[in-house]
Amino acid sequence: MLRRGDRVFDNSGLRELIERGLGPNATFEDAQIPLGIVTTELLTGKEQVFTSGPILEPLLASTAMPLALPPVTIDGRQYIDGGVVNNVPIAPALELGASTIYVLNATAHTQDPRPLIRPMDYLMHAFSLARAQRLIVERRFADAERAEIIMLPVVPLEFYVPFTSFKHTRMLIERSYEATSRFLDSASQKSESTQERTFLLEAATQAE
């Protein structure tokens, strides 16, 4: 932690994973729906949303959590994790035309709290609190824009997971996938039921 440099871990493995999954030349234009990736310009703290061109570097930048992974240089500027300035980017989604936004709050406090023992623990805890507050601000913005915000379920944990730990990664992904699938299936059934009732009401009104 006290060594010189801009990261603890290298991002070469993540780069390889993205290239293997999307291909080395994937672009935003290849996406089936409009896509925006939120990053933070390192020197100014300005929020930067990438929506066109090659996707690899912006995607790497959006994962570049300070301390853990290195900044990514794009067109001569360095970018880091967009969560530094906007952890739940509702406003950018609205600007891209979204009217219904599904949110997975990655900073939800549903696990055992971080043990506050070292100065670094206090620093990271404060950083987490600051990130979480942005969601409150963003939701107020969405309410003003009359957008529908749907909060996806966050699976509660009975233990604490350090941000540098990959020990429980597979289990966390599987739990979240299962919970989200159940939630979306239930929401879809409710939507179909509502549409059916509306159709029957309209048919009855027309018959009268």
DSSP class of residue 40 equals E
Distances (CA, A) of 76 to 21, 73, 173: 26, 6, 35
In the DSSP assignment, the letter for residue 152 is P
| Residue 168 Rama label (left phi>0; alpha psi -120 to 50; beta) | alpha
Q: What is the pLDDT of residue 204?
A: 44
Q: Does residue 47 contact residue 85 with C-beta atoms inside 8 Å? A: yes
Q: Residue 49 forms beta bridges with which residues?
A: 38
Look up tokens 């390889």; give the residue. Answer: 16
Neighbours of 84 (CB within 10 A): 21
* pTM greater than 0.85: no
The pLDDT mean for the chain works out to: 81
Alpha-carbon span 79 to 65, nearest angstrom: 10
Q: For 127-166, how does the pLDDT look when each residue is reduced to its tens digit (9 = 90+)?
A: 777 777 777 777 776 776 778 888 888 888 888 777 667 7
> pLDDT tens across 10-68, in order?
899 999 999 999 998 999 999 998 899 999 999 999 999 999 999 999 999 999 988 78
Q: What span, in angstroms and rounded, lies between the C-alpha atoms of 16 and 35?
A: 21
Which residues does 51 contact at the CB level (< 8 Å), separation at least 6? 28, 34, 35, 36, 37, 96
Residue position matching structure tokens 């996938």: 177
For the chain, how long is the longest CA-to-CA vector? Answer: 79
